[in-house]
Amino acid sequence: MGTYKYRVVDSDAHYMEGLDQLVDYFPEPWKTRMIGGSGKDKASIAGIYPISTGDRSIFGRIQRDEFTEMQRKAGGFVPEIIPDVMEFLGVDAINMLSQKMLTFSRIKGDDERATLLANAYTDYMLDKVVDPSEGIYTMIPIPFQEPKEAVELIDRVSHEKGIIGGCFVTAGPEPPFGNRKYDPIYEAAEANNLPVVFHAGGGGIDEFVSAGYEKFIETHVLGFLMANQSQITSLVVQGIPEKFPNLKIVFQESGVFWIPLMMHRLDTEYLKRQSEAPLLTKKPSEYIKEMYFGIQPLEIPDELSYLRQVIDMIGGADRLLYASDYPHWDYDPPSAITDLSILSDDEKKRILSGTANEVFGI
C-alpha cells in the first residue's frame, strides 16, 4: 500500500522515451538513418516525423519541478526513474504509455513509420522497463495506419504479462475508428482478451484541426475532447460493440463531463435515423454505459452535486479509472479522487484500483 489508505493503480502515465533508447530496436536501414541526426542524441526525431513547436509546461499554473529533479538525479527518463514516480504519486501499480505514440496523428504518409515505432517501443519496454512484480505495465501503441501489421504485433506480444492493453490515439485517423478497415485489429484484440484504449491527442496549437487559434489553452480545451467525441461516435454508430461484444473499450484523457452529452446527443440522432445504424440493437447511450473512462483531467465544479450527477448518468463509479497522465503538466494525483466528498469509500476504492483490476487484470 502506498501513500493512500487505498490501493491505487494509475491507468495512464507516460514513459518519456527518447529515440536514443529505441534506436537499437529498429531494423535497418532505419537505424542508420536515425543515428547522429540531431547532434545531441543518439537518434534524430527528424528521421521519423516533424517536431511540434511549443512547450506545454510553460505559462501553466502547475509546475513540474519535482519531475525535473527526478530526471536530473537519474540522468534522464530511464527505467530506474519509475519507482520514484510511483512513490511521488503514491501509486501501487502504473501503466506506462508511449509518449511518441501521441504523435501518430502526424504520420500522414502510407508508410511503415507507425509500425516501426510501435514494435520498437513495445520490444524496448518488455526488455528494459516492464516488471509486473513491481507493478509496472505498458500497452501496445497500436499502429492503426497498418491494420495487418497491428494484428501481427498484437498476436506476437499480447501474451506477455506486462502487456495490459492496446492503445489507439484518437486524433487524426482517416477513416475514423468505427470503419471496417480496423475490424481485424478489434478481432485480434478480442481473441487475445486485450482491452483497447482510445487515448486522446491532438491538443497542440500547431496541429489542431482548425487554423487560427492563438493560445494553447484554446486548443487544449477542444482538441482532446473533439478527438474522443469523434471516435466514440464512429465506434457506436458503426456497431463496434455489437460486432465485438467481448471487447473491453476504454476512453482516456478528456475528463468526464463530455460523456453524458455524447450519450444523449447520439440517442437523439439515432432515434430519428435508426436505419443508418442497422447493427445497433439498443440505444447508443446503453453501449457507452458499458465502456470505461479514465478520469483525467477531472473537472471539479464549484457545485460538486453536478459531478455526482455526471457520474451517475454514465453508469456510476464502476465506469471510471484513476489516471494521472503524469508527468504531463496538468496531471491529476490520486487526491483528485480521495478528496471528493461526493464519493463513498467503496466508490473511491473502485475508481482507484477496482476498475483497473476488472478491465486490465492489475
pLDDT at 76: 80
Whole-number Å distance between alpha carbons of 358 and 362:
8
pTM for this prediction: 0.93
Q: Cell 508527468 belongs to which residue?
A: 327
Check residue 301 and give its pLDDT: 96
Query: How far apart (Å, rounded) are the C-alpha atoms in residues 228 and 258?
Result: 9
Q: Which three cell numbers stand for residue 314?
A: 454514465
Domain ranges of the chain: 9-360
Give, in order, the Cα–Cα distances in Å from 42 to each of 22, 93, 107, 245.
10, 31, 22, 45
Tens digit of pLDDT at every position of the chain (362 positions): 557 899 999 999 999 998 889 988 989 888 877 775 544 445 555 555 544 545 566 555 555 667 778 877 777 889 999 999 999 999 999 999 998 888 787 777 778 889 999 999 999 999 999 999 999 999 999 999 999 999 999 999 999 999 999 999 998 889 999 999 999 999 999 999 999 999 998 767 766 777 788 888 888 889 899 999 999 999 999 999 999 999 999 999 999 999 999 999 999 999 999 999 999 999 999 999 999 999 999 999 999 999 999 999 999 999 999 999 999 888 999 999 999 999 999 999 999 999 999 999 99
CA–centroid distance for 67 within its chain? 20
Asked if residue 142 lies in contact with residue 150, where contact means CB atoms within 8 angstroms, the answer is yes
Stretch (H or E) spanning 136:
strand 136-141
Number of H helices, E strands in the chain: 15, 8
101: nearest Cα among 184, 181, 15, 42: 15
pLDDT at 19: 82
Query: Residue 176 is placed in which grid cell?
Result: 475514423
H or E, element range at 196: strand 196-199
What is the architecture, at CATH level 2, of domain 9-360? Alpha-Beta Barrel (3.20)
Instruction: Name the residue with cell 487515448.
Output: 199
pLDDT at 328: 87
What are residue 226's phi and psi, to 5 degrees?
Answer: -65, -35
The DSSP element (H or E) to which 14 belongs, if any, is: strand 9-15
* Spatial CB neighbours of 81, under 8 Å, sequence gap ≥ 6: 70, 71, 74
**HSE-up of residue 51 (Cα within 13 Å, Cβ side):** 9
Q: Which pLDDT belongs to residue 43?
A: 53
Buried b (16+ CB within 10 A) or exposed e, 137-175: bbbbbbbbbbbebbbebbeebbebebbbbbbbbbbbbee
Residue 360 CB contacts under 8 Å (≥ 6 apart), including other chains: 9, 11, 95, 137, 164, 165, 195
